[in-house]
Structure 1
Amino acid sequence: MPDVLLQETTLRVPEADIGRFRDHIFELLSTRTAYELLPDSGKVIALDSNLPVKQAFHILYEQGIPVAPLLDTYKGEFVGVLSPLDFILILKALSNHGSNLAEEELESHTISAWKEAKQHLSRQIVMHQRQSQRQLIHAEPYDSLKDVALKILQNQVATVPIISSRGESFPHLLYLASLSEIMKCICRHFRHSSVSLPILQQAICTIPVGTWIQRIGESNGKHLAMLRPNESLSSALALLVQAQVSSIPIIDDHDCLLDAYSRSDITSLAKDNAYARIHLDDMRIYQALQLRQESNSHYGFYKGQRCQMCLHSDSLQKVMEQLANPGVRRLFVVEAGSNRVEGIISLSDVFRFFFSLA
């Protein structure tokens, strides 16, 4: 760890400054509503809960979206959300049944059937199944942004559907709210507040946010999970589930950042039905990354969004502005010049800091 980082981490921001900043955030988000996040135009995709898993898998891949709300057409209500973690658990379960993933099982099993079948999987899968059985986490258009952000954080979800049900016989899905859009609102409000809120110009390493390889004075820091490109895709998926993280940095022998593998990358296995031809233990992470690159190029996605970086000396305001960009959910803190990984700062980390959540 560079000496400059060790010096800067000892100069922590005064608690009074942090408290004043949190008060400003709380006041702002309490007076803004989810309705303000709705774009002037756009589309929101929902999936029938009785859709075959294979078809749902391909829809998310082809549309370039990581999650989709689930609609039970018989009940006339939204009953859950299909996420990358669902596909990770499904593919891991199928891979345990043979040398290749059983494509016919993906074709014959509906999403709702898989939600029910999770009770037969491992303890981690059972935990996720219990979460998905709860009432759908959603927000109304006029709920405050504070409440929307807290729902995302407390339920450990990536998005919250904005659903209008007032005076309507059938609930109307308006939007999928995420922390990045709420962050954009915060950044727009505080863009010219550096003088009144000096904490915005403090180096990110002096603020208690994120997961770091080493933080001076902290003995209970989180372990930063990292993998090498030659390790198996199965190990990456297992780590995503067990460590309850959404992305893993992929590093070389010198701990320098090469890329990142995220939960949402699992949908790239839908390209040319790749999931039906591979075994998760045999496929290397670098091969999965190549497949993702090909998929992103085919659909015109910005390939650099997956691995955004910052320096430990960057200001809190700069980090917030980066996290407010569409598609950016985390920043990898790297050493200047070498790109040696020093930590990870996610959107949820910053919002937990805003709300003083552990």
Structure 2
Amino acid sequence: METATAPNVSLSPSATQRRSSARRRAGSQVPDRRQLEAHNEALRAIRLYLKGRTAYDAFPVSFRVIALDTKLEVKKALECLLSQPPVVSAPLWNSAECKFAGMFTVSDIIHLIQYYYHTATYETAAADVETVRLEALRDIEKSLGVATPPLIREHPSASLYDAAKRLIQTHARRLPLLDNDTETGHEIIVSVLTQYRLLKFIAINCAHQISYLHMSLRKLGIGTYVTASPNSPVQEGEKSKDYNPYHPIATATLTTPVFDVVHMFSERGISAVPIIDENGIVVNLYETVDVITLIKSGAYQSLGLTIGEALNKRSADFPGVVICNSSDSLGYLIQLIKQRRVHRLVVVEGEKGRLLGIITLSDVLRYIVGDVGIGESVESTPNLSEIGTEL
């Protein structure tokens, strides 16, 4: 069986050249009926497989679960997230009521920074973060007008298909898996199913079906793309200080202040922003976790740095920006996610790598577990004999 091999597509902050490498391209932009049917059949086979497997099946051989008490101070919780190896989220536990209380993520820290920006000074923030507790975060979100994350959960014996649907319907990136203690009746946090873990499970166990997903990402509508060419002329009166030629994608440059990007994270509910030059060439990516790393010492003044200055403080083990082209196939993309452990891909065009779009794991998962295929109105019973059933 032929498998896709991920190219070397990492970008360092000072990268000026790209290495050309072979990648699996999608076939004709106008797929024939045979290709289309094989594509849809493969999708239905993957969905059927997920319906026959439980969340337990996606558990790694060895893992740990860090649960944080809601009475814990935010600063200590942040230290837990940044421990080795670092994690980007943790379940919350209400010890007074012995029950699950949601998730603590880097987005909570972004909202906290935003809150102090509007209500206090950096000095006040540095002092308050020593005492503010996790249980206060939801009230802070309400004061910012940020939607409270849904208190979702699922049982470990639920099918992976239902778990995936839950993630899509709630726009969540992770799904806590809870059981009940048979003696006490109290809830037990068993694990957390993430989008990445689910897609990796699909990549490993449905490799045969994935090999039939030859159609291009752009053709399938996976991801968010620039609505107009960055080089297209701007009508008189159209351009303003808020004009974004890469709409609807939020972008920044190396001279953009970190705090401006923090605003984007909080107000738009995103977790990464492509960093481009004056020609729209992608030079890096700034993520929410970069902000957390920047302020872990309590130096909130660091938020006044430019993106370029902040990137110089980034850990040397940063894996780089993973890019793809809109003509790449869905099958190639799924393999790339598994091999590079990526959570988003920047779509570029041209030899220099001009920004064209961005693809998140949510985009990929939403397409894979959707109800229909290309050109179909309802999901039909898959004929597995045509594409094989060895998973």
Q: TM-score, normalised by structure 1?
A: 0.82
Which residue of the other structure, out of 265, 270, 274, is the alignment partner of 1:240?
265
* 2:360 equivalent to 1:346: yes
What is the alpha-carbon distance in structure 1 between the residues aligned to residue 262 and residue 69 of structure 2? 26
What is the alpha-carbon distance in structure 2 between the residues aligned to residue 325 and residue 79 of structure 1? 33
Question: Is the 2:345–2:358 Cα contact (8 Å) retained in structure 1?
Answer: yes
**Could you tell me which residue of structure 2 aligns to residue 261 of structure 1?**
286
What is the alpha-carbon distance in structure 1 between the residues aligned to residue 336 and residue 32 of structure 2? 21
- Amino-acid identity (%): 25
What per-residue deviation string (whole Å, max 9, x for no partner) do you get for residues 66-124 of structure 1?
11110111111111101111100101111231254522211111110232243322x3x
- CA 1:32/1:240 → structure 2, altered by over 3 Å: closer, same or farther? same
What is the alpha-carbon distance in structure 2 between the residues aligned to residue 87 and residue 327 of structure 1? 23
Question: Is the 2:227–2:247 Cα contact (8 Å) retained in structure 1?
Answer: no
Question: Is the 2:181–2:188 Cα contact (8 Å) retained in structure 1?
Answer: no
**Superposition pairs of residues 128-207 of structure 1, within 5 angstroms:** 131-132=148-149, 134=150, 136-165=151-180, 167-169=182-184, 170-193=186-209, 197=212, 200-207=213-220
CA deviation after TM superposition for structure 1 residue 225, in Å: 1.7
Greater CA deviation, 13-22 or 314-323? 13-22
**Could you tell me which residue of structure 2 aligns to residue 68 of structure 1?**
90
Greater CA deviation, 54-63 or 162-171? 162-171
Which residue of the other structure, out of 84, 87, 106, is the alignment partner of 1:84?
106
Q: TM-score, normalised by structure 2?
A: 0.75
What is the alpha-carbon distance in structure 2 between the residues aligned to residue 142 and residue 248 of structure 1? 36
**Could you tell me which residue of structure 2 aligns to residue 11 of structure 1?**
30
Question: Is the 1:202–1:315 Cα contact (8 Å) retained in structure 2?
Answer: yes
**Could you tell me which residue of structure 1 aligns to residue 139 of structure 2?**
116
**Could you tell me which residue of structure 2 aligns to residue 3 of structure 1?**
none
Long gaps (5+) in structure 2: 1-25, 230-245, 373-391
CA deviation after TM superposition for structure 1 residue 176, in Å: 1.6
Which residue of the other structure, out of 46, 51, 54, is the alignment partner of 1:25?
46
> How much is the aligned-residue C-alpha RMSD, in angstroms?
2.8
**Could you tell me which residue of structure 1 aligns to residue 58 of structure 2?**
37
- CA 1:82/1:193 → structure 2, altered by over 3 Å: closer, same or farther? closer
- What SS does the corresponding residue of 2:347 show, helix, strand or coil? strand
What is the alpha-carbon distance in structure 1 between the residues aligned to residue 41 and residue 336 of structure 2? 23
Flag the structure with higher helix content: 1
What is the alpha-carbon distance in structure 2 between the residues aligned to residue 211 and residue 13 of structure 1? 26
**Could you tell me which residue of structure 1 aligns to residue 327 of structure 2?**
313
- CA 1:326/1:176 → structure 2, altered by over 3 Å: closer, same or farther? farther
What is the alpha-carbon distance in structure 2 between the residues aligned to residue 120 and residue 25 of structure 1? 43
CA deviation after TM superposition for structure 1 residue 16, in Å: 5.0
Give the counterpart letter for 2:134 in structure 1.
Answer: I
- CA 1:243/1:12 → structure 2, altered by over 3 Å: closer, same or farther? farther
What is the alpha-carbon distance in structure 2 between the residues aligned to residue 173 and residue 254 of structure 1? 48
- CA 1:113/1:194 → structure 2, altered by over 3 Å: closer, same or farther? closer
What per-residue deviation string (whole Å, max 9, x for no partner) do you get for residues 136-174 of structure 1?
312211111112112222222221122221525233322
CA deviation after TM superposition for structure 1 residue 25, in Å: 2.6
Give the counterpart letter for 2:169 in structure 1.
Answer: Q
Give the counterpart letter for 2:164 in structure 1.
Answer: A
Count of aligned residue pairs for this structure pair: 326
- What SS does the corresponding residue of 1:201 show, helix, strand or coil? coil
| Structure label with greater radius of gyration | 2
Long gaps (5+) in structure 1: 1-6
CA deviation after TM superposition for structure 1 residue 328, in Å: 1.1
What is the alpha-carbon distance in structure 2 between the residues aligned to residue 337 and residue 261 of structure 1? 22
- Identify the structure with bigger relative contact order (alpha carbons < 8 Å, sequence gap 6+): 2
